[in-house]
């Protein structure tokens, strides 16, 4: 079955760039929408953005700092968040939205990675 | 920007009881776009319901969703011990703040 696994540094210094990669196994990233969602400790969920067939869409509140990209040869997609502060400390999840182009359904998230905690601290 | 409000911060219920969780949108939303998730401590969220009332794969039928316009409901007909968790509603790029269902 399809599985998602996040990887990347667990500690990032303030003002630097947070970089995470999601490896998708058991299925191709060439279909579906692939998302990053984060959750600060003890708080709720925040959608960050997605990539779909090379096209991206970002949360307006993060748009100036976020880039999501894909490497189809490795079946991976990645997140870069620039100029991080302590407020960016969170568990970061890579997540699948199972819609296909033209779907009648709205965005929803059926498959989640286990999440990786990234702490922003000097 | 649509805001989702889950007004019942915590519900204290006993196993076997019925749980009714609410999610109110700041403006009318499409029923095809409202989803619910369950999250247990230390785990990723799990999709329960999408398009207001469609159960995700493997979700027991004690979970049901309903609603339209601005008011949506997740109902757990009889709480099992494993159902005590935090529940989030979601519309497009927005999540509600969550409702915790705890053991009374």
pLDDT score of A103? 79
pLDDT of A38-63, one tens digit each?
999 999 999 999 999 999 999 999 99
CA B19: distance to chain centroid? 10
pLDDT score of A94? 98
Cα(B102)–Cα(B81) distance, integer angstroms: 10
**Residue B8 pLDDT exceeds 80:** no
Mutate to test the interface with B, among A45, A66, A116 (most CBs of B within 10 A): A45
pLDDT score of A37? 98
Cα(A112)–Cα(B11) distance, integer angstroms: 26
pLDDT score of A105? 84
Cα(A120)–Cα(A18) distance, integer angstroms: 9
3-class DSSP state of A31: coil
Alpha-carbon distance A76 to nearest alpha carbon in chain B (angstroms) = 19
**Residue B43 pLDDT exceeds 80:** yes
pLDDT category at A109 given cuts 50, 70, 90 is: very high
CB-based contacts of A56-61 (< 8 A; 24+ apart in sequence): A59/B93
Alpha-carbon distance B10 to nearest alpha carbon in chain A (angstroms) = 14
Specify which residues A13 forms β-bridges with. none
**Residue A101 pLDDT exceeds 80:** no
Q: Does A44 touch chain B (CB under 8 A)?
A: yes
- CA distances A115 to A15, A118, B95, Å, are 23, 10, 17
**Residue A33 pLDDT exceeds 80:** yes
| Averaged pLDDT of chain A | 95
Contact A113 B44 (CB under 8 A): yes
Percent over 90 (pLDDT), chain A = 92
For residue A95, give the nearest of A49, A31, A55 by alpha carbon. A49
For residue A12, give the nearest of A74, A115, A65, A88 by alpha carbon. A88
Q: Does B58 touch chain A (CB under 8 A)?
A: no
Q: Does A115 touch chain B (CB under 8 A)?
A: yes
pLDDT score of A45? 98
Contact A115 B44 (CB under 8 A): yes
- Quickly count: other Cβ atoms within 10 Å of residue A25's Cβ: 10
**Residue A90 pLDDT exceeds 80:** yes
Q: Does B44 touch chain A (CB under 8 A)?
A: yes
pLDDT category at A104 given cuts 50, 70, 90 is: confident
Residue indicated by tokens 């991080």: A84
Is the CB of residue B87 less than 8 Å from the CB of residue B4?
A: no
């Amino acid at each position: 079955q399809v599985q998602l696994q996040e990887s990347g540094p667990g500690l990032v210094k303030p003002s630097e760039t947070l970089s995470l990669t999601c490896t998708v196994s058991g299925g191709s990233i060439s279909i579906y929408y692939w998302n990053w969602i984060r959750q600060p400790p003890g708080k709720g969920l925040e959608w960050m953005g997605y990539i779909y067939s090379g096209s991206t869409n970002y949360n307006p509140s993060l748009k100036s700092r976020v880039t999501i990209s894909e490497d189809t040869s490795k079946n991976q997609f990645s997140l870069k968040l620039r100029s991080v502060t302590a407020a960016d400390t969170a568990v970061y999840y890579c997540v699948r939205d199972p819609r296909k182009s033209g779907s009648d359904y709205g965005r929803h998230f059926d498959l989640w990675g286990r999440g990786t905690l990234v702490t922003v601290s000097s | 920007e649509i805001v989702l409000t889950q007004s019942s911060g915590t519900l204290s219920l006993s196993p076997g009881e019925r749980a009714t969780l609410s999610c109110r949108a700041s403006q009318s939303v499409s029923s095809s776009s409202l989803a619910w998730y369950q999250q247990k401590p230390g785990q990723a969220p799990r999709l329960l319901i999408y398009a207001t009332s469609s159960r995700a794969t493997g979700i027991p039928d004690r979970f049901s969703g309903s609603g339209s316009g601005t008011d949506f409901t997740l109902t757990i007909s009889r709480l099992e011990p494993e159902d005590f968790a935090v529940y989030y509603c979601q519309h497009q790029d927005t999540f509600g703040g969550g409702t915790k269902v705890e053991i009374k």
